[in-house]
Amino acid sequence: MAEKLYLDPTRESFDAFKALPRDVPINMLNLIQFHDQAQYPDDHPNGALSWSGARAYEEYGKTSGPIFKRVGGMIIWRGKMEAMVIGPDDTQWDSSFIARYPNSGAFMEMITDPEYTKAVVNRQAAVLTSRLIRYGQLDGPDAFG
């Protein structure tokens, strides 16, 4: 059985996101696996460029980055997957990072910005599957348990 692929949020998952507190900082864990070749719609001008998925995602970063920064977003961690220690070994993530937003309203402002909606076509062409997980801050000591 083929693995289910995830590119965009479902209506239910997006509604759950919007129902969470909106006035607190949020961290978004991004796990991304790229297509070997970007998958642009037939009528998109970038489709003729024969970009790799990684290159199309780089273009997404260039075009959406100024909007991300304008709403107060920042990358607080970026890493390269080296080994799956616990978990399924059939998925390797090509890009992993945590984006911090001052609040969920900033995230919503970004994804509804008209320039972002133009830029996101590069993300959609680049990504085979992904995970986007919202985390809130926990107060307390830096310790397990």
Domain-by-domain residue ranges, the chain?
29-135
CATH architecture of the domain with range 29-135: 2-Layer Sandwich (3.30)
User: Structure tokens of 92?
Assistant: 């390797």
pLDDT in tens, 27-54: 999 999 999 999 998 887 777 788 999 9
Torsion of CA 66, 32, 18, 41, to 10 degrees: 70
Q: With bands split at pLDDT 50, 70 and 90, how would you rate the model's confidence at 86?
A: very high
Using CA atoms, how far apart are residues 82 and 93, in angstroms rounded to an integer?
9
User: Structure tokens of 97?
Assistant: 């990072």
User: Structure tokens of 89?
Assistant: 């070994």
φ/ψ of residue 62, rounded to 5: -65, -40
The sign of the CA dihedral 117, 119, 121, 126 is negative
The answer to whether 84 and 46 are in contact (CB under 8 A) is no
pLDDT value at position 15? 94
Q: Hey, is 79 helix, strand or coil?
A: strand
Q: Is the pLDDT of residue 143 over 70?
A: no
- pTM, two decimals, is 0.89
Per DSSP, what are the bridge partners of residue 24? none
Nearest Cα to Cα of residue 98 among 70, 74, 77: 77
pLDDT in tens, 105-140: 999 999 999 999 999 999 999 999 999 999 998 777
Residues 119-122: contacts with CB under 8 Å, at least 24 apart: 119/60, 119/63, 119/64, 119/67, 120/60, 120/64, 121/40, 121/41, 121/44, 121/46, 122/38, 122/46, 122/56, 122/57, 122/59, 122/60, 122/63
